[in-house]
């Protein structure tokens, strides 16, 4: 696979249009001709009480407005849609309205749920994990401009261009995919399968890193002012560069690594041409979600250190969103007590409940174990370590 190009541009004095225009141009520009309708796919995951609280969660509508202007200047004479599917269990129309995206209709585009034109079941070719899933027809039949946000993510470490395409899957099918994926790696394989189906439809990826998110992303982290726009035709390369800006190794992000290993894009920074700002000048240490032990080699540690959701103890408004989104029905919300109960035997630690809770009252903690299990686990680990050391010494 040849060199990929990624553009990094600063937003100067709040001028989003100039930054988006420059980034797209530096990344190679939009095609001269587009024969299909155009889908602009931002991240419209959810909304919070105030616009300020929401801004690190969703793509800034100003970025999308700038893209609309640039697309219209190209005179493709095609319909332009701005669409997403918000978190499972949420009413996307309501999220679109509450986040200010509806206003973009004044630009002569259709702002809608991703399922507006129906959906089709697809079997990805050579799937890594996802043998079939339902895609929105809008994503299957359009030229896509993918407009992700720069954020950390409790399950997948970061959510960038590849992960943003999860929103092309309508409604509750997203929850089923979480159940199919089952682990961070398995779920990332599903995301790469989705990307493999849509890859050829993508004409540009434009990442909004004006206000990014660190910590407990994608919805309960802290805002980070970066004032950047990134763009690339290659979503994998864009994710690798964005991850590096966040001071994380691209190879530690399953989606980037798996997509790159399967020749779906360029994940190695040495094979990426960076135009515009230099990474060294803008890199910032992002607080990552607590490290997932799945990166350690010994399986026993994985089990011991597994995380699980936990109710903070107060603040639940019994909205039932967590109960609806849980892919394995591991949550029951007691409406009278106004609190969720978790069935940890069923829970697959996908953290969708943490992501969707509007009040931020579902936290993530280390799984609690009885002393005998901990002791057994540690003893087994010591024995394994001893065997490894002895075998090295004796060879």
**Pick from 314, 342, 315, 317: nearest CA to 328:** 342
Task: Let me know if 34 is exposed, middle or buried by CB neighbors in 10 A (0-12, 13-18, 19+).
Answer: middle
Q: Tell me the C-alpha distance between 259 and 236, whole Å.
A: 7
DSSP-assigned states of every residue in 51-73: HHHHTTTS--HHHHHHHHHHHHH
245 in Cβ contact with 209 (< 8 Å): yes
**Which of residues 15 and 359 has its CB atom nearest to ligand SF4 in the complex?**
359
Pick from 183, 359, 380, 384 the residue near ligand SF4 by CB under 6 A.
359
**What residues numbered 279-338 form the site for ligand SF4, per CB under 6 A?**
309, 316-322, 325-328, 330-331, 333
- Which pair of tokens denotes residue 225? 């002012």
Give min distance, CB of 316 to ligand SF4, in A.
3
Give min distance, CB of 300 to ligand SF4, in A.
21
Give min distance, CB of 298 to ligand SF4, in A.
23
Pick from 6, 27, 169, 357 the residue near ligand SF4 by CB under 6 A.
357
**Which of residues 95 and 316 has its CB atom nearest to ligand SF4 in the complex?**
316
Give min distance, CB of 114 to ligand SF4, in A.
21
81 sits in which H/E element:
strand 80-84
**Which of residues 230 and 350 has its CB atom nearest to ligand SF4 in the complex?**
350
Taking residues 150 to 189 in sequence order and writing x for each that binds ligand SF4 by CB under 6 A, - otherwise, the string is: ----------------------------------------
Segment contacting ligand SF4 by CB under 6 A, of 33-41, 43-51, 197-205, 341-349: 341-349
**Which of residues 95 and 348 has its CB atom nearest to ligand SF4 in the complex?**
348
Give min distance, CB of 309 to ligand SF4, in A.
5
**What residues numbered 361-390 form the site for ligand SF4, per CB under 6 A?**
361-362
**Which of residues 317 and 378 has its CB atom nearest to ligand SF4 in the complex?**
317
Q: Tell me the C-alpha distance between 237 and 250, whole Å.
A: 9
284 in Cβ contact with 18 (< 8 Å): no
Q: Tell me the C-alpha distance between 112 and 102, whole Å.
A: 8
**Number of amino acids touching ligand SF4 (CB under 6 A):** 29
Our finding on whether 115 is near ligand SF4 (CB under 6 A) is no
290 in Cβ contact with 366 (< 8 Å): no
Q: Please, what's the b/e burial string for 8-28 (b: 16 or more CB within 10 A of its CB; e: otherwise)?
A: bbbbeeeebeebbbbbbebbb
User: Which stretches of the chain bind ligand SF4, using CB under 6 A?
Assistant: 309, 316-322, 325-328, 330-331, 333, 340, 342, 347-353, 356-357, 359, 361-362
């Amino acid at each position: 696979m040849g060199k990929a190009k990624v553009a990094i541009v600063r937003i100067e004095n709040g001028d989003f249009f100039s930054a988006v225009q420059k980034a797209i141009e530096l990344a190679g520009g939009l095609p001269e001709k587009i024969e299909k309708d155009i889908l602009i796919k931002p991240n419209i995951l959810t909304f919070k009480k105030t616009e300020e609280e929401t801004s690190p969660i969703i793509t800034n509508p100003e970025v999308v407005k700038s893209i609309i202007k640039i697309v219209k200047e190209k005179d493709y004479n095609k319909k332009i849609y701005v669409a997403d599917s918000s978190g499972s269990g949420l009413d996307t129309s309501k999220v679109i309205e509450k986040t200010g995206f509806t206003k973009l209709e004044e630009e002569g585009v259709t702002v809608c749920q991703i399922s507006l034109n129906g959906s089709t079941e697809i079997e990805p070719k050579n799937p890594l994990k996802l043998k079939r899933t339902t895609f929105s027809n809008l994503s299957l039949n359009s030229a896509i401009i993918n407009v992700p946000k720069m954020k950390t993510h409790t399950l997948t470490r970061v959510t960038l261009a590849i992960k943003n395409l999860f929103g092309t899957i309508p409604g509750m099918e997203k929850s089923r995919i979480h159940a199919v994926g089952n682990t961070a790696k398995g779920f990332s394989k599903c995301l790469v399968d989705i990307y493999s189906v849509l890859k050829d439809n993508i004409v540009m990826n434009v990442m909004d890193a004006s206000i990014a998110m660190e910590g407990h992303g994608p919805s309960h982290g802290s805002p980070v002012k970066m004032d950047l726009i990134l763009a690339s035709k290659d979503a994998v390369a864009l994710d690798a560069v964005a991850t590096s800006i966040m001071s994380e190794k691209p190879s530690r992000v399953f989606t980037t690594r798996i997509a790159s290993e399967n020749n779906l894009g360029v994940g190695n920074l040495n094979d990426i041409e960076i135009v515009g700002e230099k990474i060294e000048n803008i890199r910032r240490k992002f607080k990552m979600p607590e490290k997932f032990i799945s990166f350690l080699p010994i399986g026993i540690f994985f089990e011991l250190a597994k995380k699980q959701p936990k109710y903070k103890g107060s603040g639940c408004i019994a909205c039932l969103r967590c109960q609806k989104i849980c892919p394995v029905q591991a949550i029951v919300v007691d409406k009278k007590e106004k609190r969720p109960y978790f069935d940890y035997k069923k829970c697959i630690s996908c953290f969708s409940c943490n992501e969707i809770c509007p009040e931020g009252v579902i936290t993530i903690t280390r799984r609690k174990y009885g002393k005998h299990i901990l002791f057994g686990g540690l003893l087994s680990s010591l024995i394994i370590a001893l065997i490894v050391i002895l075998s090295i010494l004796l060879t």
